[in-house]
Structure formats: structure tokens, C-alpha cells
């Protein structure tokens, strides 16, 4: 099963043996810090799910009891070592950061499988967690009818090409609840994605409570595309999402889109409008008609308050200021606004992220620009800032797969699984090379997407390809080889109840 892992590992060496992971196999962690124990428990839970005990009725489970977590303690109460012992010969799994190879970096890991057991070693817990994802993919999609797992022995050494492997979820056009976001976080983690960008505001809705501007959610949170009742995250719910994501080594990147895409705020507070008149709520899908009032000081008090409150709830270093499609803001005003917004974000200890249009302004060296569909990315690249690659023709998860896809839009064309996979971030835009690229992000805009089932259908399988583009070396990646590996993932998604698009380009197994 080593051969079906996505993203494709940097190096895989199989040596022809077999490791039998039997009932009663134990998971050992070293050192037994809270964080490492949590990773061990996570693996134990996932193995339990494969066994079916968590989710299925007794008729189809109970055929085996899967490995359980045991923190081995010696003498002084702390685990001393995880080298194979008699007990581990039953097929134990060791997770360790002791002696992890620093050359593998913050997120790299080494996964070694011998007839005696499994060992995931990394310099940092994040690497152990990603190694656990690789191990999960080497187990069968379902344990039904099995009394043991047989793993091919060998060694994987693996680390990411890019540090930013993200997905954007638009919770503004249609609101998406906390439980759905958590499920998406779990699915992202399986493919080693490490950034979840939440598009928290747009013309159609404001989705996070701001204590100093309560009407943003009272009014702006009460609508969505199509006229539904919308919704929003309380600050406690947002913090819960942040914490859940962190437990999966995913950093939340909050976005408040400005100065355009702001009708929900302009409807909530009359004073934010240049003419002092509140805008009516908007539930359509046009873009580019709204703007904050660039010349009014209250605009910057608003930005300051919103950034301060969200930054305080966000441990990650990023704050996304949007910046796209400010079609009714003059260029001069736009530049003034981005200057001030960047400075406000920086004053709260965060790095600004913005869409490529921000390249028109003088960017701070720490600001990050995101490419989607225009040439303005080159202006940002020429200033030497880092670039996130989200070309609409490749990474827009809201583009239809083909003309018969019911959900989605098609302004950037159709994006079949092959289109989503067959490109490289370092050669996609002339003038933006490997050294400029921070990573890759897949964007799911939600004008047409309402439910978890809709999210899953548009996201899978394309997200798996983007994850591989962000993680795996360019050399050695090919569509013909990838599509075979991808074929093995349909059964996994089916077992998890994921509503994925069964593309005819893939021979699903
Ligand atoms: C463009 S991409 C937008 C969004 C829309 C999306 C629909 C970008 C930065 N702006 O406002 O939702 O197209 O595909």
C-alpha cells in the first residue's frame, strides 16, 4: 500500500517484508508530552474508526479490536525509549521526536516499517503527525473482515516542498457551521494541508462576532446568498475552530475582505458609508459593487477594532485583508487603504495576506500576495514578497468539473481532476518562480455551495491533487502515475461517507 500514498512521499524504499499489525498492538509515544500523547490518541481513535467500532453497528464491527494507546512508563514515570521489545513484536507503533532527523525540517518525518513494528520519527511533533497520516493511508480503507493489518516493510523519508498548503472556505456567501468546518479540517489533515483560510465576510454576510461592532453579526450575519438566514461564529466558536485546527497542525488564516466585498458591513453601520446611508442587505451573487469609505476616519477605527479582536483570537501569524475586486474604489483610494490596512495588521503582530491586487500598493516585506487570475501578481513579485498560488483555472474548487456539473460556476472554465493536477506553481506565471512561491491554496467560494455534501463534492478529488502539488517534489510527479494512485482513495472516501465526484478520468478501485 506504500505506493498509493497522496501526497507522494519524497522517498520510498520497500524491502519485501511484511509487518503484521494485530489486535492488541500498542502505540508508544516518546517523549510522553501532552502533545505527543495527543497524537498517539489521535492515531488510536483513527484506527478504531477503521475497525468500525466508533461508527458502525455491532453486526459489522467487533471482528477485531484495534491497537490501543499505551504510554509506556519506566521508573521515573516517563517513557524512556521506544526501541522494539518483546511486547512491540506484536506489532507496536512508536511515535517519537527523540533523535528525529533535523534535516527533515519542521514538518518532515521518517516512517520505518519492519516485521517487528512501525516507527514514525521526526524532529517536531508536526512531522510525527504527518507521518501518522502516511501510515493511515497504508492501512486498508476498511477493516471489515480482517483480523490483522499487513503492511509492506520499508522506509519512507518525506518532507514538504512548500510551507503553505492551504484551503480557503467561503463561509460568507453561505454560512457553514462549526461541525462541518471540523470535518473539513480532518479531511484536509489526511492530505497534510496546513492552512485553513476562512473567508469571514463578504457582501452577503458577516460571520464572526465583533464585540465592539455588534451589529456586524446582528444585521450582517443574518443573510446569505439566496435569502437564507445566514449565521455567524461567536468568538468562542471561532476559538474552538482555531483550537481544533491546531490539534491537526493546521493554522487558521482569518480573512476580512476589504475595501470591496463589504456590503454586509455597510448594511450594518450607516456611518461606514460615504453618504451616511446604510446599504440594503444583499443576497445575490454579483461582485465588485461595494466599498468602504476610504476618506472617512471611522473606516480605520472599524478596521482597527475588527483586526484587533480577531487577531487576539488567532494564534497564527497571518491576517488576510482580502483586497480583490474593489471595482468601485479608485486606484488612488485603493492604494491608500491597503497602506493603512497593512500597517494596522502589523501593529497587531500579524503578517498581512492579500489578493494580488494589493501589488499596486507598496507592500511591507512580510506581506504575502495571493495569485488568482490577474497580472497584478507580477507587481507583488517584483517587490520581493512571497506569493501563494491559487490560479482560478487550476485551484478554484467552485469551478464546475464539466458542463454537466450541477453545482459551481464556470467563469474560469471547467476544472476536471486532470486540470487541477497538471500544473506547477513555479512555472504557472511568468515572472513568479520557485523562490517567490510560499505555497498553494485551493479556494472554495460558496455562491452555489450550501451543505457539507456540496463542499465535499466540489473539494474531492481535486484537493488531493493540490495537496500533492504543494507537498511533493515536482520531479517525479506525473498525471498518468497520479491518477492510478488517486484511484485507491475513492474507497477511503466512500468508507468515510465523503460525497466525492467520481470523475471518469479515474479508475476508482
Ligand atoms: C472571484 S477570487 C472572487 C470571489 C468569487 C469568485 C467566484 C476572488 C479573489 N474574488 O468573490 O466568489 O470569483 O469564483
Q: What is the pLDDT of residues 463-509, one digit of tens each?
A: 999 999 999 999 989 999 999 999 999 999 999 999 999 999 999 99
Per-residue model confidence (pLDDT) at position 62: 23
Q: Is 372 in the pocket of ligand 1 (CB under 6 A)?
A: yes
Closest C-alpha to ligand 1, atom 2: 372
Separation of CA 7 and ligand 1 centre (Å): 27
Separation of CA 245 and ligand 1 centre (Å): 24
Among the residue ranges 24-33, 110-119, 249-258, 419-428, the one predicted with the least confidence is 24-33
Please determine, for residue 140, whether its predicted confidence score (pLDDT) is greater than 70: yes
Over the stretch 301-350, which tens digit does the pLDDT of each residue have?
999 999 999 999 999 999 999 999 999 999 999 999 999 999 999 999 99
Residues, the chain, total? Answer: 509
Separation of CA 239 and ligand 1 centre (Å): 26
Per-residue model confidence (pLDDT) at position 1: 66
pLDDT band at 55; cut points 50, 70, 90: very low
DSSP string, 99-128: T--GGGTTT-EEEEEETTEEEEE-SSHHHH
CA distances from residue 179 to 24, 47, 82, 186, 451 in whole angstroms, order as listed: 32, 21, 36, 11, 12
Burial 238-251 (b: 16+ CB within 10 A, else e): bbebbebbeebbbb
Q: Is 324 in the pocket of ligand 1 (CB under 6 A)?
A: yes
Please determine, for residue 73, whether its predicted confidence score (pLDDT) is greater than 70: no
pTM for the full predicted model = 0.93
CA distances from residue 103 to 12, 63, 100, 109, 345 in whole angstroms, order as listed: 17, 42, 9, 10, 33
Cβ within 8 Å of residue 509, ≥6 positions away: 487, 488, 490, 491
Q: CB neighbours (10 Å) of residue 509?
A: 12
Nearest ligand 1 atom to the CA of 392 is 2
Among the residue ranges 72-81, 195-204, 404-413, the one predicted with the least confidence is 72-81
Per-residue model confidence (pLDDT) at position 164: 98
C-alpha cell at 260: 470591496
Nearest ligand 1 atom to the CA of 445 is 12
Per-residue model confidence (pLDDT) at position 100: 86
Question: Which are the catalytic amino acids?
Answer: 325
Mean pLDDT of the chain: 91
What number is the average pLDDT over the span 450-459? 98
Q: Is 396 in the pocket of ligand 1 (CB under 6 A)?
A: yes
Cβ within 8 Å of residue 336, ≥6 positions away: 294
Over the stretch 24-35, which tens digit does the pLDDT of each residue have?
678 888 888 899
pLDDT band at 50; cut points 50, 70, 90: low
Please determine, for residue 391, whether its predicted confidence score (pLDDT) is greater than 90: yes
- With residues binned 3-state (H G I as helix, E B as strand, rest as coil), the percentages for the chain, rounded to 5, are 35, 20, 45
Q: Is 255 in the pocket of ligand 1 (CB under 6 A)?
A: no
Q: Is 287 in the pocket of ligand 1 (CB under 6 A)?
A: yes
Closest C-alpha to ligand 1, atom 9: 324
Among the residue ranges 65-74, 125-134, 327-336, 437-446, the one predicted with the least confidence is 65-74
Amino acid at each position: 500500500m506504500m505506493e498509493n500514498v497522496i501526497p507522494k512521499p519524497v522517498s520510498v524504499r520497500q524491502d519485501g517484508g511484511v509487518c503484521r499489525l494485530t489486535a492488541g498492538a500498542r502505540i508508544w509515544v516518546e517523549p510522553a508530552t501532552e502533545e505527543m500523547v495527543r497524537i498517539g490518541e489521535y492515531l488510536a481513535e483513527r484506527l478504531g474508526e477503521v475497525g468500525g467500532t466508533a461508527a458502525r453497528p455491532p453486526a459489522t464491527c467487533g471482528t477485531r479490536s484495534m491497537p490501543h494507546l499505551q504510554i509506556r512508563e519506566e521508573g521515573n514515570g516517563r517513557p524512556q525509549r521506544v526501541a522494539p521489545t518483546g511486547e512491540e513484536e506484536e506489532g507496536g507503533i512508536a511515535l517519537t521526536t527523540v533523535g528525529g532527523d533535523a534535516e527533515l525540517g519542521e514538518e518532515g518525518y521518517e516512517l520505518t516499517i519492519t516485521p517487528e513494528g512501525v516507527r514514525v520519527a521526526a524532529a517536531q511533533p508536526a512531522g510525527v503527525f504527518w507521518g501518522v497520516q502516511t501510515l493511515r493511508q497504508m492501512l486498508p480503507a476498511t477493516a471489515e473482515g480482517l483480523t490483522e493489518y499487513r503492511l509492506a516493510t520499508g522506509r519512507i523519508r518525506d518532507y514538504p516542498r512548500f510551507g503553505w498548503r492551504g484551503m480557503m472556505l467561503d463561509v460568507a456567501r453561505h454560512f457553514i457551521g462549526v461541525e462541518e468546518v471540523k470535518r473539513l479540517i480532518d479531511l484536509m489533515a489526511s492530505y497534510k494541508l496546513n492552512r485553513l483560510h476562512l473567508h469571514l465576510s463578504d457582501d452577503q454576510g458577516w460571520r464572526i462576532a465583533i464585540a465592539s461592532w455588534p451589529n456586524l453579526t446582528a444585521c450582517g450575519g443574518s443573510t446569505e446568498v439566496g435569502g437564507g438566514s445566514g449565521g455567524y461564529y461567536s468568538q468562542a466558536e471561532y476559538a474552538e475552530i482555531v483550537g481544533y485546527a491546531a490539534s491537526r497542525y493546521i493554522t487558521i488564516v482569518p480573512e476580512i475582505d476589504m475595501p470591496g466585498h463589504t456590503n454586509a458591513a455597510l448594511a450594518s453601520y450607516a456611518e461606514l458609508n460615504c453618504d451616511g446611508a446604510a446599504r440594503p442587505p444583499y443576497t445575490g451573487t454579483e461582485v465588485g459593487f461595494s466599498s468602504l469609505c476610504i476618506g472617512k476616519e471611522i473606516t480605520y477605527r472599524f478596521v482597527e477594532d475588527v483586526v484587533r479582536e480577531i487577531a487576539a483570537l488567532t494564534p497564527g501569524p497571518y491576517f488576510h485583508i482580502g483586497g480583490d475586486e474593489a471595482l468601485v474604489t479608485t486606484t488612488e483610494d485603493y492604494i491608500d487603504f491597503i497602506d493603512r490596512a497593512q500597517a494596522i495588521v502589523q501593529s497587531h503582530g500579524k503578517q498581512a495576506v492579500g489578493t494580488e491586487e494589493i501589488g499596486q500598493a507598496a507592500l511591507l516585506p512580510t506581506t504575502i500576495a495571493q495569485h488568482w487570475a490577474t497580472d497584478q501578481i507580477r507587481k507583488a513579485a517584483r517587490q520581493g514578497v512571497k506569493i501563494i498560488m491559487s490560479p482560478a483555472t487550476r485551484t478554484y474548487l467552485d469551478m464546475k468539473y464539466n458542463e454537466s456539473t450541477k453545482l459551481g460556476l464556470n467563469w474560469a472554465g471547467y476544472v476536471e481532476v486532470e486540470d487541477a493536477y497538471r500544473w506547477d506553481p513555479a512555472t504557472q506565471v511568468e515572472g513568479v518562480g520557485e523562490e517567490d512561491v510560499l505555497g498553494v491554496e485551493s479556494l472554495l467560494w460558496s455562491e452555489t455551495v450550501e451543505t457539507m455534501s456540496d463542499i465535499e463534492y466540489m473539494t474531492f478529488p481535486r484537493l488531493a491533487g493540490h495537496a500533492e502539488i504543494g507537498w511533493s517534489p515536482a520531479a517525479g510527479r506525473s498525471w498518468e502515475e497520479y491518477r492510478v494512485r488517486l484511484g485507491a482513495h475513492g474507497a477511503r472516501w466512500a468508507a468515510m461517507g465523503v460525497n466525492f465526484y467520481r470523475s471518469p478520468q479515474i479508475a476508482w478501485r
